[in-house]
Structure 1
């Protein structure tokens, strides 16, 4: 047992443990425990709601502001390819999920009534109101305005403030939100077990995970086929070279933390060093094909379970906004889903219970989404290297 003291559990193992603890507590049939957990979930959910506009501003303002420091044409080419890849990944995910998920899931089988405050539902002992300072759309508009303002102004005062605010938000996510997530997830699964729905949700986890993993492989195949055609190299060989970055990202759950390994492997794929030095750090911030696939797939699965419509127009608008809203979020494990909470609420109509379920479903697969992002960065770097013209 002494050896176990030195073991530091990652977020994914903690979430898995939390799920089983929640199921165990739900099976105890002690209603006061379920209400206690519901009280924590209510307060934590309100805090998340308060933080969402601040997270949007904290991520987007410095993310857009930093783009202004790029090298003109090279920046536009890299950002354009990264955004196109992200949107394409989401569109492919929508198409595949629209066909596959209805055959795997029972539409309308998840009931929100069990979590409501109506008769027969689970009510918290008390709640603490935490109204956000502004709405999600107001936060988005303010973030775009400030971010674009930073790119055109000469001084660095506002940019420095934005960067420092981003550090504060990242600290809140890493020191408060992420550590409390396992308790939140345990509460959610305790409630679902108490109301007899945990088995359904766990089966959904497994099915959606398999679909997402297949979609990641399809997207990486497309990315490296294009990169291979442009560079006249074997797509399979290019992808094989990037495997160390893929597996490193699974461990770190952070595109930013994997940059040194990604950079080394990209250069091994015959990308010019000056191009790699520019594209790899930038793509770690703005290229989110894997995360977009995971978020789109998880959102559609939850919507189908709850009997919500999944029209292309609404989902594609969500996908397009994801490509912007998640800027800079990959630096924080789990940051992508936290940054997307506002869009889930405003664009897809997710109530707090579904956003909590979304967090659980996404976080269980976050490592693989990050790995897909990082590996795809290598393909984008190859494309930029081939399309950017002559060497320096």
Structure 2
């Protein structure tokens, strides 16, 4: 009897020794199985996933603030950082992704059913409005920025405080470092619950929408996901190879596995910031660099969003029979890239910027918002794949810049 009672313990110990990614895969399979066998129970299990995402979102703003401020305050004059190369890589990756989305839309044109009503949502009226919103976020009150998870404002205040405290006492800098380290430990505990979070998220998603709603837009989804896979597995590795001059795929697959999987299910670049910071630490990257580049990437490095904006815009254009020449297509790439930099790091953030791109072709806002509505229908796959690409690319390009300087 005592042997039978103790038998679950070796199983739990074996599970505890299993890698976090393997545990997440087990959670995903269990969630999908629950959704198939007991949809009502799966919907209830979604509460676990909601709690996990809420915990990540809660810890991310103060963590980013403290890490960035501490890194800058502790930076010694003459010590190298690699922010400028990372920003250049972010720009190249986002523009390349927009080009891929436009090219794929010409090669595999998609059409939409534009007969339903639009959605009730506010979209920006022009690129100036996007830039104005970014500037307003930059000048946000620091307390309000933390409460709203406004990472542009958080970065601005953290950088300002860090620069000011470089002239402070060593004790102050030590306290700031200890606070950031303590919060990092809390993040590690939260991330250990990722398998349960993945279980709840996939169970609720499959139980709520199933796959029927996606079948009507299979071609459009294939183009979107295909573009994102092409960028993740071909374009980004090529960019990294040009930077580090060696086989990029071990690093690419590590970033996709360790960052992309979590981002796929949280569907939030902001919520995945703690995961990316921990991965950068495990990769041994330069802390002064990644503590700034990762939260910045969650705000402006949006290759997946550039693809979404390009593909859905050209699907609407193709549906309406509007002719597109090469210069206009290239202008769309620029608009999609700039718009993507204004995407909020939350689920579905890129969709509300589609009307901005469709306005380039004179498409009325009523039709543009119908395209947004279609985007929300397919977002269970589109937004998940987009966030996985966005978030994993943050780590990948940061690592490429750091490794290039190290060699």
Identify the TM-score tier after normalising by the shorter chain.
Answer: 0.5 to 0.7
- For 2:123 and 2:266, locate their aligned partners in 1 and report how far apart those are by CA, in whole Å: 33
For the 8 Å contact 2:308–2:350, the answer to whether it is kept is no
- For 1:7 and 1:347, locate their aligned partners in 2 and report how far apart those are by CA, in whole Å: 43
The 5 Å alignment of 1:100-139 reads: 100-101=108-109, 105=110, 135-136=125-126, 139=129
Which position in structure 2 is the counterpart of 1:193? Answer: none
TM-score normalized by structure 2?
0.56
2:384 to 363, 367, 372: 367
Unaligned residue ranges in structure 2 (runs of 5+) = 1-37, 50-67, 152-208
1:92 to 91, 94, 100: 100
Post-superposition CA distance 1:32-51 (Å, at most 9, x none): xxxxxxxxxxxxxxxxxxxx
1:335 aligns with 2:316: no
1:349 aligns with 2:352: no
Which position in structure 2 is the counterpart of 1:300? Answer: 314
Cα shift at 1:207: 0.9
CA RMSD of aligned residues (A): 4.2
1:382 aligns with 2:399: yes
Distance 1:10 1:95, change over 3 A: farther
Cα shift at 1:204: 5.9
1:280 to 294, 298, 323: 294
Post-superposition CA distance 1:153-183 (Å, at most 9, x none): xxxxx4328965993999xxxxxxxxxxxxx
Cα shift at 1:375: 1.7
SS of residue paired to 2:217: helix
Distance 1:345 1:209, change over 3 A: closer
For the 8 Å contact 1:231–1:382, the answer to whether it is kept is no
Distance 1:335 1:280, change over 3 A: same
- For 1:368 and 1:267, locate their aligned partners in 2 and report how far apart those are by CA, in whole Å: 24
Which position in structure 1 is the counterpart of 2:229? Answer: 217
Count of aligned pairs: 278
Cα shift at 1:264: 2.8
For the 8 Å contact 1:286–1:323, the answer to whether it is kept is no
1:251 aligns with 2:265: yes
Q: Which range is displaced more, 359-368 or 224-233?
A: 224-233
1:271 aligns with 2:285: yes
Which position in structure 2 is the counterpart of 1:7? Answer: 45
Which position in structure 2 is the counterpart of 1:56? Answer: none
